[in-house]
A = this chain, B = another copy of it.
Amino acid sequence: MVDFNKIIDFFENLNIPENMLNRGQLVLNEFMNPIKILFEQRSVPKEPWTDEQIEFLLQTLSNMDTDKDKNAARVGEREARIASKLHLKTSAGFCHGVGRSGFLTAAQPKAPGGSIMYHLSNYLARNVLRNFGLPNIKAAIVVPICTGMSLSLVLGALKPDQNEDPQNLKRKVLIPQIDHKSLLKSINLLGFKTKIISGKIFGDAVRIPIDDIRNNLDDECFAVISVTSFFPPREHDDIKEISKFAQQNNLVHIIINAYGVQSPEWMKMIRSAIDAGRVDAIIQSTDKNFLTPIGGAVIASPTKENITKISQTYPGRASATPIVNFLISMLSMGITGYQKLIEQQQQNREILEIKLKEVAEKLNERVLNIFNPVAVAVSLKNLKEDQLYALGGALYNLRVTGPRVYNPKEKLFGTCCSNYLTPYIVMNAAIGSTKKDIVSAVERFEKAYKQITHK
């Protein structure tokens, strides 16, 4: 095979001056060097890669898979045969997917390249979390399913032995009230019961006091869920205390950190929780944190065995694309790029609050006092029921995507408590959003509000 380190040796007698050839080798080296560093260090690169470098890596690895072997005689029932070359694009060449016999990270004999790709991605997942707030995790895995399904998988992996006598079988999960359908469905999928501890109002914020959680514990419970990132008025849980509580009571403790990696503050809470008590798994979305298309999550744990169990619980194979997407994001941003995005997020969050305060004042509303490093909520107390409804529609028509207009009188689910009174709107300055997004969203909110109240 060509030794790309010395590619120019082939062209010595080609009438191209030596210094030009050397320059060519030099430029090629710079293109390829990051690959070597990646292979050696298995960590997120410091500087962003170009798309061309990323494609080169993916192409090289995927060309190690046996479906690319022209001399193979294929007599399995699945051999990553594809109907169209377009499939090579959507899978980045990894047609064999990931997983084997119900073991996500098992090496696939037919896909050495895909197996390497997956292992690298998992190293990068651990590395990026360690770099951005969780030095105390031991292992991480990128899973080709979203946050909700990841919770099912983790619960399925860490559940008690189900062959226990039905009388003694623990089948209940403690949940400080989290009004999120996917999360509840992910528990229902497995047939577990939920014990939801109601949220309480503290000023503007909704929290679930640790004592309430403690008081709800019963013999059937085997796990407790907690959250960091969530929509106001619900604040993050007191995960450090829940962590201690889980340890004391031998409960599986799963933290839903859906879009929390972007916030050093939320990450710090998790770090403390790990140090203080028991955390079994932390689940984060790849799209919300790492700007991939929808479809993946990173599950991390301070306990390596948990990650192994989770990997072994997945029944069968899965699409490699969500893994590849995570890898693409890591390489295309690098540590520097991600750090910059986090800083931008913090600036945007500040701008969002300032701008919303200005508008709130004009409208005789107010920014609610709720801790959240991503979102800001503003009261809509002057709006009547039909006006609240109209506001949502008006914002949609003004092409503001993502704001949440809530009217607790109409629907309580979403407020995470039973007696929230003020209607409100929530906007996010999430990672990857631009200043222009923030500024124009607030302007359009003002416009929509005035439209509605003036007629």
Minimum Cβ distance to chain B for residue A120 (Å): 8
CB pair A11 B65 closer than 8 Å: no
A119 interface hit (Cβ, 8 Å): yes
Q: List 7 A-B contacts (CB under 8 A).
A: A51-B86, A83-B337, A86-B332, A87-B329, A162-B188, A188-B313, A319-B319
CB pair B75 A428 closer than 8 Å: yes
Binds B, one of A152-160, A202-210, A269-277, A361-369: A152-160
User: What 0/1 readout, one digit per residue, does chain A (54-88) give for beta carbons within 8 Å of chain B?
Assistant: 11100110011110111111111111111111110
CB pair A401 B72 closer than 8 Å: yes
CB pair B437 A73 closer than 8 Å: yes
Known A-B contacts A52-B59, A90-B293; the reply to A113 vs B24 at CB < 8 A is yes
Residue of B nearest to A19 (CB): B396
With a cutoff of 8 Å between Cβ atoms, the chain B residues found around residue A264 in the complex are: none
Name A319's contact: one of B39, B296, B427 (CB within 8 Å): B296
A318 interface hit (Cβ, 8 Å): yes
Q: What is the interface residue range for chain A against chain B?
A: 35 or more
CB pair B16 A116 closer than 8 Å: yes
Residue of B nearest to A399 (CB): B72
Minimum Cβ distance to chain B for residue A311 (Å): 11
Name A59's contact: one of B10, B56, B229 (CB within 8 Å): B56
With a cutoff of 8 Å between Cβ atoms, the chain B residues found around residue A152 in the complex are: 189, 315
User: What 0/1 readout, one digit per residue, does chain A (79-105) give for beta carbons within 8 Å of chain B?
Assistant: 111111111011110111111011001
CB pair A318 B294 closer than 8 Å: yes
CB pair A55 B86 closer than 8 Å: yes
With a cutoff of 8 Å between Cβ atoms, the chain B residues found around residue A54 in the complex are: 84, 86
User: What 0/1 readout, one digit per residue, does chain A (306-322) give for beta carbons within 8 Å of chain B?
Assistant: 00000001111111111
With a cutoff of 8 Å between Cβ atoms, the chain B residues found around residue A246 in the complex are: none
CB pair B316 A90 closer than 8 Å: no
A149 interface hit (Cβ, 8 Å): yes
With a cutoff of 8 Å between Cβ atoms, the chain B residues found around residue A433 in the complex are: 74-75, 79, 81
With the chains together, A78 CA to B85 CA distance in Å? Answer: 27
- By CB atoms of chain B within 10 A, which of A75, A85, A396, A438 has the most? A75
CB pair B51 A149 closer than 8 Å: no
Known A-B contacts A10-B40, A146-B317, A292-B87; the reply to A190 vs B156 at CB < 8 A is yes
CB pair B321 A70 closer than 8 Å: no
A342 interface hit (Cβ, 8 Å): no
CB pair B399 A328 closer than 8 Å: no
With the chains together, A432 CA to B77 CA distance in Å? Answer: 10
With a cutoff of 8 Å between Cβ atoms, the chain B residues found around residue A229 in the complex are: 77
A287 interface hit (Cβ, 8 Å): yes
With the chains together, A437 CA to B74 CA distance in Å? Answer: 5
Given contacts A2-B4, A77-B258, 18 further A-B contacts (CB under 8 A): A3-B4, A14-B119, A15-B107, A16-B107, A30-B69, A55-B86, A73-B441, A75-B401, A75-B402, A75-B441, A78-B430, A82-B293, A101-B181, A101-B182, A102-B148, A109-B396, A294-B319, A295-B318
A357 interface hit (Cβ, 8 Å): no
With the chains together, A74 CA to B395 CA distance in Å? Answer: 11
A186 interface hit (Cβ, 8 Å): yes
- Which A412-435 residues have a C-beta within 8 angstroms of B? 427-433
User: What 0/1 readout, one digit per residue, does chain A (23-45) give for beta carbons within 8 Å of chain B?
Assistant: 11111111111011001100000
Binds B, one of A124-132, A163-171, A247-255, A381-389: A163-171
With the chains together, A437 CA to B320 CA distance in Å? Answer: 26
Known A-B contacts A20-B109, A189-B190; the reply to A2 vs B75 at CB < 8 A is no
User: What 0/1 readout, one digit per residue, does chain A (256-300) give for beta carbons within 8 Å of chain B?
Assistant: 001100000000000000000000000001011011111110000
CB pair A95 B293 closer than 8 Å: yes
